[in-house]
Amino acid sequence: MSETKEQTPDIFKVGHRGAIELLDYQTPNRIDAYCMTIADLKTSEGIKMNASYYPPVVWALSNIFGEWRYAEIDKLHESLTDEEAEIAASEFYAKYHEDYIDQAEDVDRWLEQLTEEQIEYVSERLILWGSELPDGDDFSWVIEPISGQHLAFNWFYEGCYAEYSEKLGINIVEGDVPGSDYCAAELTIPIAQANEIAKEAGLGIRFVSDEEKS
């Protein structure tokens, strides 16, 4: 929420079916959304720590593990004869099977067996994943909102505007159909009426239509 909301009110765009979102919200990348640091993702202990906190980090590491697995097999074929490589690859696949990374404890076990060079490979791949924008799989786990709609949901559900939601005619929706991950704060009254209520309550917020956006 803006500290000087009388001069610069928090402006919420009202979109499809009344879902509101903070206008011009800048989506953070995953590293910022999870409040991680690049420094932590460069060390084995830092990677383990974040994997223990956030399931999506484990999921990302599971994908990275798959890439690493095939890269290591290629190295075996480059350094050994075909017969030797076949035997080594069979043993390698038996040890590092497809479901080897399933939870945070598996990440710990895997990283403890890697060389510094291999840890660097995992780190680079994880930092690349962290530099991307979060998606729906991250929604339930991030610390910072992943969109203006996510932020509005947080603020009107249990945040700084939660006590005014009912007065403003805002309905909190968590899943619009069974199994849905849709979450939104939806305005159920006319925009002009909501703005008048906000003004009378002394709130530094304003609602605008999707077409207006200003």
**pLDDT, tens digit, 9 for 90 and up, residues 10-52:** 999 999 789 999 999 999 999 999 999 999 999 999 999 999 9
Q: Is residue 141 part of a domain?
A: no
CA 178 vs CA 19, 174, 175, 181: distances in Å: 19, 10, 7, 9
35, 17: one domain: no
Q: Are residues 82 and 102 in the same domain?
A: yes
Phi, psi of 184 (to 5 degrees): -160, 155
Please identify, among 136, 163, 197, the residue that sits at the C-terminal boundary of a domain: 136
Same domain? For 127 and 172 the reply is: no
Residues of the domain holding 40? 30-136
Specify whether 17 is located in the same domain as 71: no
pLDDT interval class at 3 (50, 70, 90): very low
Mean pLDDT of the chain: 91
Question: How many domains does the structure of the chain reveal?
Answer: 2
Percent of the chain scoring above 90 in pLDDT:
74
Q: 166-199, pLDDT tens digit by residue?
A: 999 999 998 766 667 788 999 999 999 999 999 9
Look at strands 20-22 and 205-209 and give their pairing. unpaired
- Report the phi/psi class of residue 174: left, alpha or beta, with left for phi > 0 and alpha for psi in -120 to 50: beta
Span 47-62, average pLDDT: 97
Rounded-to-integer distance, Cα 136 and Cα 140, Å: 8
Q: Is residue 34 part of a domain?
A: yes
What count of other Cβ atoms lies within 10 Å of the Cβ of residue 153?
A: 25
Give domain status of residue 1, yes or no. Answer: no
Same-domain pairing of 93 and 162 = no
pTM for this one? Answer: 0.79
